[in-house]
Structure 1
Amino acid sequence: MAQLIGAAVQQNAAHITLITPDAPVSASSHGGRAKCLQRLVRLGLPVPTTVALSFEAVHGLAAGEWLGMDQVLAAFDSDQILCVRPSSEDPDWGGPGAILNIGMNDAQFTRLSDSVGGEAARKLYLKFIQSYSTHVARLDPDIFDDLDSADVNAVSCFLEAYESEAEEPFPQSRSEQLIGVLRSMARAWEGTTARLLRQAKGAPADAGLGLVIQAMALGVGRGESGSGVLQLVNSVTGVAQITGRYMRQSQGRDALKSEGSALFLQKDVRGPSLEEKAPQAFLQLTKYAALMRERLREEMQCEFTLENGEIRILDGVRVQRSARAAVRIAVSLAESKIISREEAVMRVEPRALNELLHRQVDRTAKRDVIGSGIGASPGAATGKIVFTAAEAQASAARGEACVLVRRETNPEDIRGMHAASAALTERGGMTSHAAVIGRGLGLPCVVGATSMRFQTSKRRITSPDGRVFREGDVITVDGTNGQILAGEPKMMEAALDDSFQTLMTWADMSRDIGVRANADTSADARTALVFQAEGIGLCRTEHMFFEADQLIAMREVIFANASDDRSMALQALLPMQREMFVELFEIMQGRPVCIRLFDPPLHEFLPTDRAGLRDLAEALNLPLSDVTRRVEALGEYNPMLGMRGVRLQITVPEILDMQARAIFEAMLDASAGGDPVVPEIMIPLVSAKREVELVKTRIDAVAAAVRTERGRDFDYRLGVMVETPRAALRAEDIAPHCEFFSFGTNDLTQMTYGLSRDDAGRFMSAYVQQGVFPEDPFHTLDQEGVGELLRLGAERGRRAQPNLTLSVCGEHGGSPESIAFCREIGMDYVSCSPFRVPVARLAAAQLAIQDKTS
């Protein structure tokens, strides 16, 4: 009979479809809910009669076109009460709320009062009057506030209130009610606010909405009646566990909204349960849910109704889940042989892993937002406000968590960032100093928080609403979404459980591009190993020079006037560098370690304030005037484009000699009695082949001297960091002198665009919003401009040196979109911050699986 009605419905209206097992319904034309209901029908589940309206039909309703209600209602009995639910293509895109009890009128109220009781019938009618008034007639819901819904005459009072406000009687025709509901939901979907909200969730601007009209399973009656939802897993942890609630004499999702009157599903010491009240119904529901899991190949939430003990399945939706639950669910489905391992890998969003790797603000916690900026390093942490690196170290020594607040950080702040629980800066973007170091340390960080007023000299920050927070006040930095919160909200801890490890093992079986970590310290290297990085792709050797015991030695080098004096001063740094390299080599246990030679301009190691200059003069035993003049002489108009990187190594070669010796001696010490270590030495900021020739000659000389002194032979690999446009364009000249190229996309983006990566955050949001750039190029690799330089550099480099190893070591190395481009142009590996290694591993695996399946 249903098939005959369905054929008649579809013959008269192509976009009005009765859901049957073989009806022409798809998620792309009728929405995900309609398609899922068809799947439930195919499984033989007791789904009420349902009619689906296509996207095109709903769009027509929003535009004022008429819909043949006779065709819509042909599938239902003349006295059948209905409900309407939205059906967007992707359930995550949302939609208008469901409206229940369409068709309730005075006649139905009388009929139902006889069959289910006056109180139940009254609740049904009142619920519909309120929904229709608010969503269709667009009346103020306050008109019912002073009315008592428990009054036996409540229906008359509510109808009078409606008529008084709407200046017309409440519609009694089911057809009139239904067309009003359908049109209001269609127009709500196409409104500006709704469109912006779903675009924020990733929906296309022209995303369509379908609507499903379903026979109401009332959920009220004289026998066991009610409604609820059931699922087989915990949405937060993903652990197998029957969860949900059931509420007697209720409809829809009332059970989830009720605090005290809802029942548990399984027997529970905390209160009564559905299993105790209706054991057969409970058993059948769990069987239905298990069948949905197996046949729909997904953990589903089942929305159900009992009517005098009889089950109706109203809907099945994909279980909402946290990132940790998503991982466990995917692994569990694969281990149950419901999906393949490769499909399990594909089901987890790479960026969602950040929730597992870092502490997060609990989803249920109240957020007192006092400011916002760029979420530059994910995770959340709470602490007392401090304004200097020294204060952060002092707090750590006292065992107190702190948040380091700065206008912007510089290399001298690294010690404070190590000591702090989180960092907050007024300036900066995704590749600013604070952002890069924060991601490397796994330190929650928000940069570019220009919505707040920073008064660091007065040791206070002010929120946009005028609240003032001073040193010692407790705040929380949420680097995942870029918010700053007052106080200490409830947190969720990081969770790298067995399911995570299993998923990552499966990912590694599929991926075809290497993943290394950027690691500057032994702690970074150990973190990289925890996340199973294949080696170190970038070790920035200068960071250790900012430690207190090494900073003064570095400053002596800077102030030395002659080569011999510089070499003498560097003797103090040599054993420290060597010790650091030994530790890195030993931790990495034969894995490759790529060491970038000294890169920053020398002025970064010098104080700028008078107190710092005075302390330096005292430490060096020099007049303050001499120190001041020397510091001023080292100043540059644009130091990031000045004497740094290879330029410094050529003009001040003593630093190069010291570092090369430290690397070679450490290599020999670390490999004594074990597998040989083959370090990779990388020259930064190269733009001409002659620079490489000069540096290589110097390094070879140091290598020869160490071989003679130690009486042992060894190998090393030399390469360049391609981070200037000219290096990419002249790669064919440079490559014959190298064994690898590592593209430093942070500086390459900066130089290609002519943008300061530390200052771009001030206007980047406006640029992206107005379509100047599709994305922040420091966050997502610009494949058209910067990417073209990568492509040219890779092609020309390999033309001259076919065995040239190619990689990306900028922060783009951890971006899934950037990894796709790197694979496309033939990169051998990417390198990123240790905490982004799992994200890169999973993204690389998904790309390889996509290629394989397509």
Structure 2
Amino acid sequence: MVRPKNAIVRVYSFGNGATDGSAAMKNLLGSKGANLAEMSNLGIPVPPGFTITTETCLEYNQLGKDKVVSLLMAEVKLAIATVEKRMGTTFGSDENPCLLSVRSGSRISMPGMMDTILNLGMNDNSVEGLIAKTGNPRFAWDTYRRFVQMFAGVVLNVGATSKEDQNPFEEIIERYKKNKGVDLDVELDAVDLKQMVFDFKAVCEVQTGAPFPENPWDQLWASITAVFDSWMNPRAIYYRGMHQIPEEWGTAVNVQAMVFGNMGGTSGSGVAFTRDASTGENIFNGEYLINAQGEDVVSGVRTPQQITLTGSKKWATLAGVSEENRKIKYPSLEELLPNTFKELNTTQALLERHYNDMQDLEFTIQEGKFWMLQTRNGKRTAAAMVKIAVELLSAGLIDEKRALLMQEPSKIEELLHPVFDNEAIKVAEVLAKGLPASPGAATGQIVFFADEAHKYSDTILVRIETSPEDLEGMNIAKGILTARGGMTSHAAVVARGMGKCCVSGAEKINISYKNRTITIGSQILNEGDWISLNGTTGEVYKGKIKNKEAELSADFDTIMNLADKYRTMRVRANAETPRECQNALKFGAEGIGLCRTEHMFFEGERLIRIREMILSTDEIGRREALNKLLPIHKNDLKDVLRAMKNLPVTIRLLDPPLHEFIPHDIINQKEMALEMHVSLETIIQKVESLKEFNPMLGHRGCRLGITYPEITEMQARAIIEAALELKTEGITTYPEIMIPLIGTVKELKLQKQLVKNIIEKVFAEKANSVQYLVGTMIEIPRACLIANEIAKEADFFSFGTNDLTQMGFGYSRDDAGKFLPIYIEKGILKSDPFQVLDQEGIGQLIEMATIKGRSYDPTLKIGICGEHGGDPSSVEFCHQIGMDYVSCSPFRIPIARLAAAQAALKQRLPNQVENLYSCIEKEISAPI
């Protein structure tokens, strides 16, 4: 394209000739635009078009529609002229119209979240020109009605007036099919489709109050700006929040010449994957439809056919279709159009080898001619993610570092959750069978609308087919069931990306949104009824089904071993029970980073003794109660230390305010009075005396130990006696005693001396000793500021980022839910700071404290034990500032191990890894 010298470039051409871009320009051109350019460079047939940059999207949001359209006008007209020349058609022509598609494309794939318009340029004159040119009236009117329907929905916001109502366009289509006595859109003729166009336009005029736009240039600019607007639509914002995609990335707009899959029996559209997106198997697979455009394949309006013969046979078995019926009604592309299949198969192999990753492809066949419309790194399940990387590594196509960087740490958790018990499955009642769109096990109560997915604690979202507007409900639900759609439908692709169990295309279920029922044969299921989904087999069961622990694969072990090879930061667990410790060890924990002792006091005799201590009016009474608690506490600690033998265990002394151990409702207060053999008035008075205006900033943490030193003494004795008794059993332990909520050096000094005095006394009593450390939890901003002084008294720092975030922001964790979602929606915060560490603010406090602490003691052990210890971006931050370890819940340990490895790789090889990462969609002898 010829441009004025020194001009800012906002438009890049691609396809069928000279191409301006490449895959390396993903940040500027978006993933779709960069890959279209790259395929053009590889000589793959790509319809010509152009990409408007992601930077222009940012300009659009800053400067507004009119200004950006004026900035784009000259470049877009030049780009359109280039498309016209390459296609031999003219945009806006009545006789030889050049029709266009307008699609979004962020640098990371966001399937279905933003808007697309196909067949742009159609109007009452060009439809006649298209008929004259092709001699195919049905094709022309079908193309026109598709454009009106899509443009109306995307640009004009024409649609159903309530969630129970059917989309008005779908209602019209159903009426025409019923009147004609046919089942499928493709069975309607040109006369039907022509009248349908006018019916569609009438709906548009009623809902918008204006005639449907006929001018192609008006259509184009409205569509381009609609795509830019869709970057800020609610579902795109929600999706970005889910996947931590920055708003400032923006979306590109891809404008491309249309090629038509709806021109008859030798035309079609399809979606394919170079490997199985559910399992990761090295099997080329996908779906297509003859005489259809791409939206038909993913929307579920028609049952798609399989691309390969092997896939077709497998699908027929799963769907209960006989081989004879399959050959007649559902032939594979391999059988129907063998030459086109051969070209597609060659292309998919080339693209996977070129990108060295599983690809998600979109293609169109126009009267036998093959065109590629898109390639991208395919969304996949966690199991597939792991298997694909290991197989590519084994084949020598990638190295170990690339295999690790191909992983999404947060997805690993999918592999760790329970699956259905085999014995329970055998006796379960199978209601229906669909396609195994996304593996896993899900049990929940039926809901029919995405905005009601929160209605019960566990829900299954049941839809005829899902749409991008259902995203939030799909995320909340435990599983998704659709009556329509194949393995490449919206529900299937999005569910796999979320790691959500999904069964699609269960055609025997009849859904009534109005009645909120599912009818399967003679059975009727209502909203709220329990069902279970097996996303691995596609079966739908009645009621709840028992779960069992997941079985981890050898491929998972390979990835985890690689992570351990490259990471330099240790990973510990937050755990208080032997079972939690066992899970932690199974997932690779290298110690306990947080044992919250208060969790040991909330049941049975432990709770009675704590309450007895609280009700005591003097120190003598408190000590008597604590002496009764001592042997119980010691045994609980022995269980944890025994489970974690030879590994460090950080034990936090009592932290919460005492009011948490006493009931606040009258019924439970009466029960406590009877249990403690005191009057109800005594209980009520104690509750009143413990009441605080802000208990999270009140009498808790080290303040309890300073005002009631007997609590600290009992816990210190229990810890050390437990360790000594295990030593006599031949078990080596490394207890680390953590003083919580330090804000001044003297608080730590007093508590530390108290602990050490008791420990030395126990050593003398037992004539024995063990290694131990005494450190502190840094969770108050003031402690960060004086960390160099605190380090003089501490053997280690452990950052309690939950409270540090709470105090740093001034947000109450218990009340922030009222405003945090609005803050995120309005862009005040990028993410929930209690889930993703705020590196700009709280992170700077942590880094400052780390530097200050090590300025006094360069060997000071430092870790993090807040909820952020299992968040990948937070783990990377911890690595960057030189922490020794992170600690998280047992099920998030593999996430942290993988994130720590990726952080180490990025830090070691910043240039090489940055380039590599841009191509991807996204021995212990003593404690360390």
Deviations 1:236-282 (A, max 9, x none): 33333333223233343534446666432233143232233344543
Q: How does 1:338-357 map to 2 (within 5 A)?
A: 338-357=397-416
Residue 16 of structure 2 contacts residue 46 of structure 2 at CA under 8 Å; is this kept in 1? no
* Match of residue 737, structure 2, among 665, 673, 681: 681
State the partner residue of 2:85.
Answer: 74
State the partner residue of 2:466.
Answer: none
How far the C-alpha of 1:70 sits from its partner, in A, is: 4.0
How far the C-alpha of 1:724 sits from its partner, in A, is: 2.8
State the partner residue of 1:325.
Answer: 384
State the partner residue of 1:440.
Answer: none
Q: How does 1:770-785 map to 2 (within 5 A)?
A: 775-785=831-841
In structure 2, C-alpha distance between the alignment counterparts of 1:162 and 1:735, rounded to whole Å: 73
State the partner residue of 2:923.
Answer: none
State the partner residue of 1:800.
Answer: 856
The answer to whether the aligner puts 1:17 opposite 2:60 as a matched pair is: no
| Structure 2 residues without counterparts, runs of 5 or longer | 61-66, 90-95, 160-167, 181-186, 419-439, 461-476, 479-499, 501-527, 533-541, 911-928
| Structure 1 residues without counterparts, runs of 5 or longer | 1-5, 384-420, 423-443, 445-472, 478-486
Deviations 1:498-557 (A, max 9, x none): 433332322222222222111122222122112212110111112211112221122223
The answer to whether the aligner puts 1:109 opposite 2:131 as a matched pair is: yes
Which has the larger displacement, 536-545 or 162-171?
162-171
CA spacing shift, 1:849–1:193, aligned 2, 3 Å: closer
In structure 2, C-alpha distance between the alignment counterparts of 1:669 and 1:137, rounded to whole Å: 75
User: Does the residue aligned with 1:719 lie in a helix, a strand or coil?
Assistant: strand
In structure 2, C-alpha distance between the alignment counterparts of 1:380 and 1:624, rounded to whole Å: 35
State the partner residue of 1:426.
Answer: none
How far the C-alpha of 1:596 sits from its partner, in A, is: 0.9
State the partner residue of 1:204.
Answer: 247
Letter in 2 for 1:36: N
Residue 791 of structure 2 contacts residue 853 of structure 2 at CA under 8 Å; is this kept in 1? yes
User: Does the residue aligned with 1:571 lie in a helix, a strand or coil?
Assistant: helix
Q: How does 1:257-276 map to 2 (within 5 A)?
A: 257=299, 262-267=304-309, 268=313, 269=316, 270=321, 271-272=326-327, 273-276=332-335
State the partner residue of 1:418.
Answer: none
Larger radius of gyration: 1
CA spacing shift, 1:488–1:180, aligned 2, 3 Å: farther
Deviations 1:826-845 (A, max 9, x none): 32212222223223222222
State the partner residue of 2:222.
Answer: 184
In structure 2, C-alpha distance between the alignment counterparts of 1:87 and 1:612, rounded to whole Å: 58
CA spacing shift, 1:21–1:358, aligned 2, 3 Å: farther
* TM-score using structure 2 length: 0.70
How far the C-alpha of 1:40 sits from its partner, in A, is: 2.5
Which has the larger displacement, 11-20 or 737-746?
11-20
Q: How does 1:638-653 map to 2 (within 5 A)?
A: 638-653=694-709
CA RMSD for the aligned pairs?
4.5
State the partner residue of 1:599.
Answer: 655
In structure 2, C-alpha distance between the alignment counterparts of 1:716 and 1:561, rounded to whole Å: 34
CA spacing shift, 1:537–1:804, aligned 2, 3 Å: same
Q: How does 1:569-718 map to 2 (within 5 A)?
A: 569-672=625-728, 674=730, 676-718=732-774
Which has the larger displacement, 59-68 or 630-639?
59-68
Which has the larger displacement, 692-701 or 358-367?
358-367
In structure 2, C-alpha distance between the alignment counterparts of 1:625 and 1:170, rounded to whole Å: 77
User: Does the residue aligned with 2:352 lie in a helix, a strand or coil?
Assistant: helix
How far the C-alpha of 1:367 sits from its partner, in A, is: 5.1
Q: How does 1:281-680 map to 2 (within 5 A)?
A: 281-306=340-365, 309-358=368-417, 368=449, 381=458, 496-672=552-728, 674=730, 676-680=732-736
Q: How does 1:26-37 map to 2 (within 5 A)?
A: 26-37=25-36
The answer to whether the aligner puts 1:88 opposite 2:105 as a matched pair is: yes
State the partner residue of 2:510.
Answer: none
Letter in 2 for 1:336: A
* Match of residue 737, structure 1, among 793, 802, 805: 793
* TM-score using structure 1 length: 0.75
How far the C-alpha of 1:822 sits from its partner, in A, is: 2.7
In structure 2, C-alpha distance between the alignment counterparts of 1:310 and 1:740, rounded to whole Å: 68
In structure 1, C-alpha distance between the alignment counterparts of 2:99 and 2:805, rounded to whole Å: 58
Letter in 2 for 1:109: I
State the partner residue of 2:165.
Answer: none
In structure 1, C-alpha distance between the alignment counterparts of 2:757 and 2:305, rounded to whole Å: 80
* Match of residue 776, structure 2, among 720, 731, 736: 720
* Match of residue 73, structure 2, among 37, 58, 65: 65
In structure 2, C-alpha distance between the alignment counterparts of 1:151 and 1:784, rounded to whole Å: 61
CA spacing shift, 1:184–1:648, aligned 2, 3 Å: closer
How far the C-alpha of 1:667 sits from its partner, in A, is: 1.2
Residue 114 of structure 2 contacts residue 231 of structure 2 at CA under 8 Å; is this kept in 1? no
Residue 117 of structure 2 contacts residue 150 of structure 2 at CA under 8 Å; is this kept in 1? no
User: Does the residue aligned with 2:579 lie in a helix, a strand or coil?
Assistant: helix
In structure 2, C-alpha distance between the alignment counterparts of 1:159 and 1:382, rounded to whole Å: 39
State the partner residue of 1:234.
Answer: 276
State the partner residue of 1:414.
Answer: none
* Match of residue 213, structure 1, among 247, 256, 264: 256
The answer to whether the aligner puts 1:751 opposite 2:807 as a matched pair is: yes
Residue 553 of structure 1 contacts residue 569 of structure 1 at CA under 8 Å; is this kept in 2? yes
State the partner residue of 1:823.
Answer: 879
Residue 362 of structure 1 contacts residue 492 of structure 1 at CA under 8 Å; is this kept in 2? no
In structure 2, C-alpha distance between the alignment counterparts of 1:363 and 1:92, rounded to whole Å: 29
Residue 163 of structure 1 contacts residue 170 of structure 1 at CA under 8 Å; is this kept in 2? no
User: Does the residue aligned with 2:109 lie in a helix, a strand or coil?
Assistant: helix
CA spacing shift, 1:111–1:546, aligned 2, 3 Å: closer
How far the C-alpha of 1:108 sits from its partner, in A, is: 3.7
User: Does the residue aligned with 2:374 lie in a helix, a strand or coil?
Assistant: strand
How far the C-alpha of 1:496 sits from its partner, in A, is: 4.3
Residue 61 of structure 1 contacts residue 182 of structure 1 at CA under 8 Å; is this kept in 2? no
In structure 2, C-alpha distance between the alignment counterparts of 1:279 and 1:736, rounded to whole Å: 76
Which has the larger displacement, 364-373 or 80-89?
364-373
Letter in 2 for 1:297: N
User: Does the residue aligned with 1:517 lie in a helix, a strand or coil?
Assistant: strand
State the partner residue of 2:119.
Answer: 100
CA spacing shift, 1:612–1:474, aligned 2, 3 Å: farther
User: Does the residue aligned with 2:349 lie in a helix, a strand or coil?
Assistant: helix
Deviations 1:655-698 (A, max 9, x none): 32322222122212323354522211111223333333433333
In structure 2, C-alpha distance between the alignment counterparts of 1:327 and 1:198, rounded to whole Å: 27
State the partner residue of 2:48.
Answer: 50
CA spacing shift, 1:617–1:338, aligned 2, 3 Å: same
User: Does the residue aligned with 1:65 lie in a helix, a strand or coil?
Assistant: helix
Deviations 1:746-804 (A, max 9, x none): 22333344443322333333445556655544333344543443334323322333322
User: Does the residue aligned with 1:23 lie in a helix, a strand or coil?
Assistant: coil
CA spacing shift, 1:83–1:361, aligned 2, 3 Å: farther
Residue 880 of structure 2 contacts residue 903 of structure 2 at CA under 8 Å; is this kept in 1? no
Residue 229 of structure 1 contacts residue 253 of structure 1 at CA under 8 Å; is this kept in 2? no
User: Does the residue aligned with 1:573 lie in a helix, a strand or coil?
Assistant: helix
Deviations 1:134-182 (A, max 9, x none): 77899997597677783554576567779999899997xxxx74x4553
CA spacing shift, 1:106–1:610, aligned 2, 3 Å: closer
CA spacing shift, 1:713–1:28, aligned 2, 3 Å: closer
CA spacing shift, 1:714–1:194, aligned 2, 3 Å: closer
Residue 116 of structure 2 contacts residue 154 of structure 2 at CA under 8 Å; is this kept in 1? no
User: Does the residue aligned with 2:613 lie in a helix, a strand or coil?
Assistant: helix
Residue 534 of structure 1 contacts residue 591 of structure 1 at CA under 8 Å; is this kept in 2? yes
